[in-house]
Copies of this chain bind each other. A is one copy, B any other.
């Protein structure tokens, strides 16, 4: 099948590559011409504009948006709208707020799929986990693409109607914050505890058979291997927080207690306002580094 991809940043290029490798055709556009050229090198048909992309796709368009959450999604949709009808399918693979996705699904003529995408740039080879919301028929139409972008048929599913994909992704991210902070607390205690331990060895031993083994723990192991036992210059400063904030807001709305997720978010706020002269809290320094591990987010570092 043929897929239009709008947005060719790190994640967008991975989508292009994985879809191409699965034997599908891709028409690719980005505001950055260099990114379009890279996609063309990878075998995609380059487009000059969103409109050009829409025209090249012909009837029954299937379009994957991989642009930053917020205004960029609305801008792309505005450009596409005149070219869309009810047989077309638009996928938003970004980290949009689920209520925006509901609104967009209602206002576009196309079938709209909100697709939470987890795995980060580090998941390029394995494939992603895709949580999809929207009309059943549109999801079924896109299955070949989802099979290619995800780890395989098990790595994607339709969660429910419009918004549910980004809703589940939002909660995923709240859980992610708390898992990172939890591993951080464990290693902070070990780093300040009674024994002089090799934390990379601890993480490796745990990753082989322990109850708490996980991909995030593998990224801890990698972090200690690359930064050293005390995480070197990694700063006590954890950026980000919008999806975690949405999760807590939704939990307030639903009156569901989420004290661990809340505390993990509060640690981020705290890391940005604390005073002090030391290297800072080990737990948050590890969480800072883990964000690079899966998402290639820049690592704030302190001056030596």
Measuring CB to CB, which residues of chain A are less than 8 angstroms from any residue of chain B? 118-120, 123, 126-131, 133, 150-152, 154-157, 159-161, 163-164, 167-168, 171-172, 174-176, 178-179, 181-183, 185-186, 188-190, 192-198, 201-202, 204-217, 235-237, 241, 245, 247-252, 254-267, 269-281, 283, 294, 302
Contact = CB atoms under 8 A, between A and B. Distances in A.
Chain B CB count within 10 A is highest, among A172, A193, A281, for A193
Chain B CB count within 10 A is highest, among A128, A258, A278, for A258
Contact of A216 (B127, B214, B270, B279): B214
A204 to B, nearest CB: 6
A205 B275 contact: no
A259 B261 contact: no
Contact of A210 (B172, B252, B273): B172
A214 to B, nearest CB: 3
14 contacts: A118-B206, A128-B209, A159-B198, A175-B182, A175-B186, A189-B256, A193-B250, A212-B215, A214-B215, A255-B272, A273-B281, A274-B275, A274-B278, A275-B279
Contact of A131 (B172, B176, B205): B205
A147 to B, nearest CB: 11
B263 A205 contact: no
Contacts of A252: 245, 248-249, 265
A259 B262 contact: yes
